[in-house]
Structure formats: structure tokens, C-alpha cells
Structure 1
Amino acid sequence: MLSRKNHLETLRVKAEEQYVWDVIVIGGGATGLGSAVDAASRGLKVLLLEGHDFAKGTSSRATKLAHGGVRYLAQGNFSLVREALEERGRMLLNAPNLVKPLAFVIPVRNIFQKLFYWFGLKMYDMLAGKLGVGPTTMLKKNEVLRAVPTISQNGLKGGVRYFDAQFDDARLAIALMKTLHKLGGMAINYMPVEGFTKDGEKICGVQARDEFSSHCFTFKAKAVINATGVWVDEVRKLDSVDSKPMLSPSQGVHVVVDEHFYPAKEALLVPKTSDGRVLFVVPWLGKTLIGTTDTPRKDAPWEPDALPEEVDFILNTAAQYLANAPTRADVRSVFVGLRPLVSAGGENQSTKSISREHTVITAPSGLVTITGGKWTTYRSMAEEVIDLVCEQQGWLNKPTRTRHLRLEDDLPARKPGSALHEKLDLNLAEIAQAVLEEMAVTIEDVLARRSRALFLDSAAALECMNEVRFVLQNELRYSDQELDRQETEFRKLVAQYGLKEEQKFAQSLAMQ
């Protein structure tokens, strides 16, 4: 049983005993969890500290696709595509219950487009090699209509079908957390790192604080990895106030609408939008997910807002390809993820041109920072950073085991009980499972990441809040005051995710 209370007590004892961890990983997103799992797979003593909840930030707000990056082919970045396709294949093999093949249809308006995309995607297949998912094929107009019944027929001349994969990002993060514990490591959420301890100029531990009790801990470590995504610069500042920013964040917005707007089993890829990006229309957990955008930011809030023009762009672009186009009134949820893009210099460059590849740097203090990349390449990024740490520490003959490591992804059989809401697949037993077995400790944890209720239908998620309060109070003995605090915070989130009129008005004022 993965109880945060029990883990907190274990950590308290270890801190008092001045236990020395081999590796402390800061950050519980894809990269941090992957790095911790990789280190634990080598027999190292590993502790992961997450300041909020696992996958709270970018790692729960992806487009839910494990992919090689079709558009990187056009940029000629074949090495990045090849690596990502190999890692896509490993995700399918290592987490088969969470990662599934998914076909994509690209609609075309003429034979030249069809040949162009077919040729490029055949190269995509070739780069995937033996880890390919399925062959690229040309489609006639009637075949496109069979695959995507609600597609607009205006100018449609056929299409091209290719294959990638789909997964639930937050659930995969929880699978990694469980795998880490099975390998003998430890991970705890709501334990932000607030400073470092040093022996001379070298880091030898971290100072952290429990969000619920405000109790402070000092954890000793031989190596510390900063894997906090778009917040790596903040952690680097804790090490050295002179650290220069290495990121140029951008945000990507997704909207979720009902399935009837896109009742297809295959996804739709719009290969070139008005801003030069691609747009996906993807079936996901009984809903339709549409995205994404690429808007530069100078800040990195935990809960970024979707700008009205970003939502309009997504809906307007989708309307060009869907016969039954959703409007703002049809949006069930809107969520925003921040990309940790590694700046290549030059403030005026477009974030579409900034590298999606990851970067690993080591500070004079020994702090190792890894950032950039994407979910699909989390495992190879983790292998690289732990290889580096092992080399720095002189740990020999400790190869990774993650290339063929099955994750703890065997989702339990559906817990008995009636659904709490007609629009959500969630019951009381599953809420209790999230709290008792998956370290969920807040209303948001349960409704945003252990289940995906907030992301699927924000209004319906709000209507399930009282049942979650009941389970939390029953299992964790929270006070009414603490639950009231959590409820207030969750209501704020629902307003952001639900395109509330007052939220749009506040955004318009902020932009003036």
C-alpha cells in the first residue's frame, strides 16, 4: 500500500539517522520519475521529491501521444525522430496496458499532397524499423469518410493513414512512481525543495518542507538531479543566484469536447495550420481532444491560463475540417501545458524553432540539471542523465535495466460500484484506491490525475467533489478546515478549465 503518511514517517526516521541517498531527484514529472526509476534499476538508493503532486505540471497536460514527431521530418531532424520512434516502441512494449497504437488520418486536397505526405511517412516507417506500429497507406476519399465520418468533405480528395501511439500521461506517471517503489526507491509528493546543504562548494544534500505539516527535513545525498521541467531555473537559483536562465517556455492549449463531434477510432492530423503548426483531433477516454497551440511565455505559473485567441484558433481550425464543428459552448474542459524549451539564444526567435531536444548540464556545485525533451523520450533522457551521474561518482558496472523493464502498469480491474456521475467513469471504490494505493492526498489529485475527470468535463468533476471530500476525510482524517481549503482551490481550477464567462472577462482585462 502506497500511503504518503507511512512514507513520510520513513523519511523522517531516515533524516534523523542522517541516511545518505545515492541520488536525490527533484521533480515528479516524466523526466524526474524516469530518472529515479532508471537509477533504482541500477541498484542505487534513490529518493524523489515532488513539490506538488506527481505530474502536476507539464507531464499531465500533453496531447497524450507517444510519437516520433512527424513535423521534425520536414526540418530534417532525423536523429531526433529515430530516437523518439525507438522510445515509442519501448513504451508500447514496457507499458502495454497504458500505451496503445493509434492510427492517424491526414486529409489531402490534391494528389500532390497525398504523394508528399505518403513519401514522408514512409520514411517515418523506415526510421521506426522493427519497432514500427503499422504501415503508412494512401486512402481514397470514401476510405477517409469511413474512418472519419464527421470530416468535412469540402475539397477532400483522399488522405494518408499512418500510425503512432496514445497514452494517458498522468496514469503513466503514477505507473512510474509505483515502479520506483517496487525497485526499492522512494518518492513523495508535496515536499518542495527549498535549499541545498553543501560541503564547501559541493552540494551534499537538500532542504525540503512537508506542505501539510510545514515540518522541514534535511536529506543527505551523493548526487542531486534537478528535473523540474519549466521550473529548473528556479531550482538552479537556489544553488547559485548567478545562474542564467536556460529556458524559453511556451504554452500549448488543448480543448476537450464530447465524442459525438468526432465519433471515430482513428485520430485526425491537420498537417499545417495558419501558424505553421499541426493540429490533432484525437479520441480520448470517451471524449475528443483537440490541440495544440504554441505561445511564448516569460513566466511559468503552476496553472497557466488559456488565452481566448488560443481557444478560438483551435476551434476555428477544427471547424475547417469537421462537418459538425464544436463551439465555445461545447467545450467541456480546456487545459494548458508549459513546454520547457531550451533556448538557443535570441529572444526574438519563435518557440516553434527552439529545440525540443533535451539538455543536461552540471553546475560547479555538482547539481545536475536535465530539461527539455518530451514524454516519448523520457526513458532515454533518464538513461543519459543517470549514466552521467554514475560516471561522475565513479559507480562502475551499473548498467540501466529500463530498456526492457515492464512498468507497474497493470491497472486494477474496475472497482465495483455505481458511477458517481453520468458523464464520468468514476466510483467511490476507485477514489479510495487513489488515496490508499496511489498517494493521492487532495481533491485535485483524485479528480485531475488519478482519474482524469477535471480534464474530461470540468463541470462534472465539480459535482463529484463532495464524494471525494468524504473519502479523504474518512481515510486521511482531514479537518473540515483543510477540506474547505482544498475545495476552494479546486473550484478555482474548475473555473479555469471550464471557460467560465468571468474567467474570460478576467483574461481580457489582464491583456489590456
Structure 2
Amino acid sequence: MTQDHTPLNTSRADLLARLEEERTYDLAVIGGGATGLGVALDAAVRGFSVVLVESHDFAKGTSSRATKLVHGGVRYLAQGNIALVREALHERTTLLRNAPHLAQPLAFVMPSYRCWESPFYGVGLKMYDALAGSAGLGATEFLGVQRTLQCLPTARPDGLKGGVKYWDGQFDDARLALALARTAARHGALLVNYCAARSLVHDAGKVSGVLCEDTETGKAYKIRARCVVNATGVWVDALRQQDSEATHRPVRPIVAPSQGVHVVVDREFLPSDHALMVPKTADGRVLFAVPWLGKVILGTTDSPRNDLDREPEPFAQELQFILGESARYLRRAPGPSDIRSIWVGLRPLVKPEDDDGNNTKSLSREHTVLVSRSGLVTVTGGKWTTYRAMAEDVLDKCFEKGLLPGRPAGGTVRLPLVGTPSGPVQHRMCDPQGWHSYGSEEVFVRDLPGAAASLGGEVTEAMVRFAARFEYARTVEDVLARRRRVLFLDARQAAAAAPDVARILQEETGVDPGLEAFLRLTERYVALPGK
């Protein structure tokens, strides 16, 4: 059967009209990040009636702030977590196949400045290849000095002994989240962003729904559901606590947030299609320099953080770490004035019973699924690469607890996401224009008014109109941070494009697109800590 590539309209009036209907859903999902969207898609594909609400925009939090890597986890292999690595390598292949316009293989090079580094890390990476098996993306290679510098032309040549090249994947996280949402909608799910879950509904001590509120109008909606999933990432404990208070059953917090900082600089600092990876820096952390959409991402840190700000800011020592370590490996290291954007993600790491949350590097990256006595299903932890496997585990738990009738899994293993082209894909993840991210829908975008009218930051008028009509976009931030990635690539460029984007959005939606709030936000993405 030929796939229909015609985009579905995401008129907010229509979405809210459906939300207001009197009905009982099989499944209500709270949280529109990678995990919640994955659960909604899997359940919809199995034929369940599904509703998902998100208090902000889809992927507003952690799920748009990843290091943009689809990976098995080299450092998890070093920790001895073979099961997690094997699962992630399998899911890596699945993701690359199901969304080839949004994910692609990427070669990484570890430069060696000590004689023991290449053989030591090379052996580990050969094991990485072996675990991947037929799902491997390319064989690990040992490189000499000249070949290493060909792959990483701006690496420091002084003392270079060679390097090791291996393969992983890269993706556009926010646009993948959007593809999950839109694919779930194609399978009948109702997804509404800017609709906050204010409280859970309990009947006879059991969770039976959600009270939510349209944050644009303040109008309240009551959702009835046989099963409710709490997929709110680092914020899951707040909803668990609310459930606990309603049922008078105390709960222990399970999330230890970890902060990851990313610094974006111009491509001149690493003019290559290969990424640089340092497996062990001066303090034991990993350092990446990853080419992405015409820029280079430097990161990432792993620092405990107790507050749960929606727009967390980097600590001064984190920026010093990234720039300082970059200077050890790049011939010309970027300084503070070279930074185009700084963004921070909070990872929802799951802490064991005896953990105080102060050493997040030692915490597991595996996910956890819990079911409270009231029937609230909570999922947290994990990582982007394994979102699909996490969704299957959530539904298995729902079946096990009798919250939903069991239905076979596997429907998402070979499920092309919205936009997947029917033919071969020319990988262009390093292309700043980003047309590749529309996949089969590029033709629809180019047919809209203003396809050639550039607004700056590789954004056209047609892209804004497409975002408003077919991609749930409501604000300037939605467009410039997540439908297009300008804020994450160059915050000043995003600020320059914002007024025109706001004008077009207001024409399309008729609501305030939040221009002033976005301009204030752009200042935070270039503000250096301590200033």
C-alpha cells in the first residue's frame, strides 16, 4: 500500500473540540517529550484510543536538548552495562530506518595522544561492533596520524599518535519528536500541546482521568481514561506526589536530575563531516565536537541539579570545562566570543534507594516503569535512542497490571514516521538549510506562499506557514527553536528573524505569538554564566 504523504491539519480549534467530547479513552498520556510521544504512538498503532496533553510545546524540555546522537553508548560499555548497550544498538538501527530524513550514520574519531589510547579504546570499540552485529553502521578502524588529521583537520597535531574511527548515529531530536506526534495523530491519537495537566482524577482510590487546562485561554477540560501514564521526564515526581496525596500513600522521589550543557560554535572550528570524541577528559567526563546543521556542537557536562527550571542555565564551571577541554584537542579553540548558542538539558536519571543524587555520572541511564496503588503508570529515565523500547515496556506494564487488555507488540519496529521518503535519502544533516528534515513533505512546504521568501536563519515564510498549519506551532519559539533549529544554532540570528516569524504566525493563528518573550529567551542562549 502506498503511503499517503498529505499532511494532517493541526487546527487548534479542531483539537480542542475533540478534547471537549464526552468519552473515555483507553490511554491518557501526560507529557509530550520523547517518552510520552513514543507511548502514544505505540498505543495508537495497537488500536487503543489515545489522548496526550503537554503543558508547553512538544519536546520543549529535555527532548529538544540532546547531544543529537543516536547511539549505543560507548561509555555505558565501559561501565559494563552490556544489556543497555545491546538494546540501544538495536534501537539505533530501527530509528535510522524509520526516520531516515531525520537520522543518519555519523563517523566519530577518537584522537590518541598517548601510545596506549588507540589499542585500548580500539579493543572496546571492536566489542561495540560485535554487540551491534548485523545492525552495525561501519567497522571500527585504526588510523595513523595523517588519516586522523584528514578526518579531523583542526585537531592538535602536536603529540598526535593516531586515532580510532567508529560509527554511531545523529539526528534532529525536536523534529523527530514532532514526527512521532504527527505519526501518532495519523493513527487516531489526539495530541494537544499547551494543555497542562492540573490534577489527576481519582474514583474510589483509582486514577480515572486528568483535569487539564488550555494555557492559551484558561479553559478547563476533563479527560476520562482507563489508564493514565505519567511521562513528564524530570518532573514525574510532582505528579507522583499529587497521586500520593490523593490516595494517602507516601512516595519516595525517584529522579536525580543531571544537567548537560552544549555550546555551539561555527563550523570553522571543525570543518569536517566526522565528529571528535574524547572518551575520558581530565575529570573523567566525555567530550564531543559534533558537526550539525552547519555548526559544531561542543559538550556535554553531567552535573547534578536540584531545581527544575524550564530554561536551565549553565554553571560557570561547566562552560570553563567545555572550552578548556576543547583547547586541549583543537588547534584553534573557541573562546566565549565565538559562542553562537548555549543550551542546557536536564536528564531524568533514576536514583537507587540509597543514592543521594550528588554523583549523576554513576547513575544508570536505564529507564524505570512504576505503577502506583491507584494505577498511575510512571515512566522516566532512559534516553532518546531507546524511546521505542521504553514505550513497549510501558504498555507491557499496563497489560501486566490489568489496566489495558493485552495486544501484540512490534507494530512500531518497521513503521515509517511522517515524512519518510519512499525512495533513497540523501543524507544532509550537515546542511544548514535543513530542507532534508521535511522528507516527503518538502513538496508541500514549497507549494505554500513564500517558499523563496527568506526570513533569515535558513527559515522561509512557507516554513512558518507549514509549522502553523500542520506542525502544531503556536509561538515564535515553537518555530525558531523546534520546527526550525535556529535558536539552538545561532541565538542572535534567531532574534533577527523573530519579528517576521511573529507576523506570519499571527496571520495564521490569530493569537499572540509571544515575540517579546522569545526575544528575552534569545538573550539567555548567548549569556555567559556569571555575567
Fold shared, TM-score > 0.5 on shorter chain: yes
Identify the residue that residue 334 of structure 2 maps to in structure 1: 326
Report the Cα distance in structure 2 between the residues aligned to 1:308 and 1:152, rounded to whole angstroms: 25
The yes-or-no answer on 1:405 pairing with 2:431 is: no
Please state whether the residue corresponding to 1:244 is helix, strand or coil: coil
Letter in 1 for 2:196: P
Identify the residue that residue 353 of structure 1 maps to in structure 2: 362
Q: 1:254 to 1:43 in 2, by over 3 A?
A: same
How far did 1:394 drift? 5.2
Letter in 2 for 1:217: Y
Identify the residue that residue 218 of structure 1 maps to in structure 2: 222
Structure 2 residue aligned with 1:162, among 166, 179, 184?
166
Report the Cα distance in structure 2 between the residues aligned to 1:47 and 1:390, rounded to whole angstroms: 18
How far did 1:9 drift? 1.6
Q: Deviations over 1:209-266 (max 9, x none)?
A: 0001100010000000000000000111221133321111110000000111110000
Report the Cα distance in structure 1 between the residues aligned to 2:340 and 2:56, rounded to whole angstroms: 25
How far did 1:300 drift? 0.9
Please state whether the residue corresponding to 1:249 is helix, strand or coil: strand
1:200-239 equivalences under 5 Å are: 200-239=204-243
Please state whether the residue corresponding to 2:13 is helix, strand or coil: helix
Structure 2 residue aligned with 1:492, among 513, 517, 520?
520
Letter in 2 for 1:164: D
Contact 2:351–2:357 (8 Å) recurs in 1: no
How far did 1:387 drift? 1.6
Identify the residue that residue 303 of structure 1 maps to in structure 2: 311
Letter in 2 for 1:406: P
Identify the residue that residue 428 of structure 2 maps to in structure 1: none
Structure 2 residue aligned with 1:292, among 293, 296, 300?
300
Contact 1:39–1:400 (8 Å) recurs in 2: no
Structure 2-normalised TM-score? 0.91
Identify the residue that residue 395 of structure 1 maps to in structure 2: 405
How far did 1:132 drift? 0.7
Letter in 1 for 2:374: S
Identify the residue that residue 453 of structure 2 maps to in structure 1: 418
How far did 1:393 drift? 2.9
Please state whether the residue corresponding to 1:63 is helix, strand or coil: coil
Structure 1 residue aligned with 2:49, among 38, 45, 51?
45
Report the Cα distance in structure 1 between the residues aligned to 2:292 and 2:223, rounded to whole angstroms: 40
The yes-or-no answer on 1:472 pairing with 2:505 is: yes
Identify the residue that residue 510 of structure 1 maps to in structure 2: none
Report the Cα distance in structure 1 between the residues aligned to 2:404 and 2:307, rounded to whole angstroms: 38
Report the Cα distance in structure 2 between the residues aligned to 1:438 and 1:349, rounded to whole angstroms: 39
Structure 1 residue aligned with 2:475, among 414, 439, 442?
442
How far did 1:397 drift? 3.6
1:33-432 equivalences under 5 Å are: 33-241=37-245, 242-344=250-352, 345-347=354-356, 349-391=358-400, 392-393=402-403, 395-410=405-420, 411=438, 412-413=441-442, 415=446, 416-421=451-456, 424-432=457-465
Report the Cα distance in structure 2 between the residues aligned to 1:24 and 1:444, rounded to whole angstroms: 26
Q: 1:394 to 1:65 in 2, by over 3 A?
A: closer
Letter in 2 for 1:317: E
Contact 2:68–2:172 (8 Å) recurs in 1: yes
Letter in 2 for 1:104: F
Report the Cα distance in structure 2 between the residues aligned to 1:214 and 1:369, rounded to whole angstroms: 26
Identify the residue that residue 15 of structure 2 maps to in structure 1: 7
Identify the residue that residue 504 of structure 1 maps to in structure 2: 530
What's the % identity of the aligned pairs? Answer: 50
Contact 1:22–1:223 (8 Å) recurs in 2: yes
Contact 1:147–1:266 (8 Å) recurs in 2: yes
Please state whether the residue corresponding to 1:323 is helix, strand or coil: coil
Q: 1:233 to 1:261 in 2, by over 3 A?
A: same
Please state whether the residue corresponding to 1:341 is helix, strand or coil: strand
Contact 1:118–1:160 (8 Å) recurs in 2: yes
Report the Cα distance in structure 2 between the residues aligned to 1:210 and 1:504, rounded to whole angstroms: 36
How far did 1:117 drift? 1.0
How far did 1:449 drift? 0.4
Identify the residue that residue 457 of structure 1 maps to in structure 2: 490
Report the Cα distance in structure 2 between the residues aligned to 1:240 and 1:393, rounded to whole angstroms: 19
Identify the residue that residue 509 of structure 1 maps to in structure 2: none
Q: 1:271 to 1:362 in 2, by over 3 A?
A: same
Q: Deviations over 1:65-94 (max 9, x none)?
A: 000110111111111100110010111111
Report the Cα distance in structure 2 between the residues aligned to 1:358 and 1:368, rounded to whole angstroms: 13
